[in-house]
Amino acid sequence: MTPWHAVEAPAGRARLLNPLAPYLGLAAHARLTWDLTRRDVAGRYRGAMGGKLWAFLTPLLMLAIYSFVFGYIFQARWTAAETGSISFPIVLFVGLIFSNFFTECLNRAPGLVVSNPNYVKKVVFPLEVLTWVAIGTSLFHACIGVGVLFLAMLVTGTHIPATALLLPLVFVLFVPMVAGFTWFLAAMGVYLRDLLQFVSVLSTALVFLAPIFYPRTMLPEEYRWMLSLNPLSFVVEAGRDLVLWGQLPDWKAALGYLAASLAVAWAGWMSFQLTRRGFADVL
């Protein structure tokens, strides 16, 4: 059986060198990606009495737990000067929306191809869309989380600035970065079956090494630059700037992050395409 990559062999090299190829592939298979994402989301809650209602109840219950543990028991406070009267659980929840999106994709990535061997053996199935399906499912949960966040802000009387409308742009910056990591880990997961355990530890470390549970200012000034190496740091702080503080992120930093995000996406997609030749043999 001829593998899918052999069908496009004449144009394969030029396609690999095209930095827009990951997104052109998404556009070409948009309907397939949409259908698989809907099926993936439905499959998450199939058989549960609450059905898709759990997609809303889960972040709502988690926010309630954060409010009780951090707000009532620990009486935690966000020490950054711009916090004002915003409660710590809401500040924390903004960061967790991005970290949950990130870790959900990363933790699924090593098993994306391995758990779908039938797709690998299909002649014309575009395997790279599996990454977009994982991202689409995670984005669905992130959107529900954003809705819960705004609901909590309304209930608690927290001001929602007009800049909150720009929050989707932060995800636009973040999605290519996540896609690149997901493609790379999905490809490596076929050959390295222990990768899942390593990624679980790595994703947890990245969450705690980002300014999610604490502001950047809590670190000594000479070490703060290290937070910028974490792909979560910029989007978490930019999201809080827009949703909580009513401030626009630094545009130079945003452009720099976008450039890095696009580079990671292209590198991850290219590594996936270069290694997919052996997927069928391994599986």
pLDDT score of 121 = 79
pLDDT score of 47 = 72
**Closest by alpha carbon to 117, among 107, 108, 127?**
127
Does 247 map to a domain? yes
Does 3 map to a domain? no
For the residues 24-34, what does the mean pLDDT come to?
94
Residue 50 or 18, more confident: 18
For the residues 14-24, what does the mean pLDDT come to?
82
Distance between CA atoms of 69 and 197, rounded to whole angstroms?
29
Q: What average pLDDT is seen over the chain? A: 89
Q: Lowest-confidence range among 78-87, 119-128, 219-228?
A: 78-87
For the residues 151-166, what does the mean pLDDT come to?
94
Per residue in 164-181, pLDDT (tens digit) is 999 999 999 999 999 999
CB-count exposure of residue 44 (10 Å: 0-12, 13-18, 19+):
middle
CB-count exposure of residue 258 (10 Å: 0-12, 13-18, 19+):
middle
Percent of the chain with pLDDT strictly greater than 90: 64
For the residues 128-147, what does the mean pLDDT come to?
96
**Closest by alpha carbon to 207, among 97, 72, 87, 109?**
97
Is the sign of the CA dihedral 183, 231, 267, 26 positive or negative?
positive
The type of residue at 75 is Q
Distance between CA atoms of 31 and 279, rounded to whole angstroms?
25
Q: Lowest-confidence range among 86-90, 170-174, 188-192, 206-210?
A: 86-90
Does 35 map to a domain? yes
User: What does pTM read for this prediction?
Assistant: 0.90
Q: What are phi and psi of 278, to 5 degrees?
A: -100, 5
Does 212 map to a domain? yes
pLDDT score of 130 = 96
Per residue in 252-275, pLDDT (tens digit) is 999 999 999 999 999 999 999 999
Residue 176 or 123, more confident: 176
**1 pLDDT more than 60:** no
Residue 81 or 274, more confident: 274
Does 8 map to a domain? no
Per residue in 49-79, pLDDT (tens digit) is 667 788 888 998 998 898 888 877 877 777 6
Does 46 map to a domain? yes
Does 147 map to a domain? yes
Query: Based on the structure, what is the number of domains in the chain?
Result: 1
Percent of the chain with pLDDT strictly greater than 70: 92
pLDDT score of 251 = 94
Domain that holds residue 192: 31-276
Does 4 map to a domain? no
**3 pLDDT more than 60:** no
pLDDT score of 80 = 64
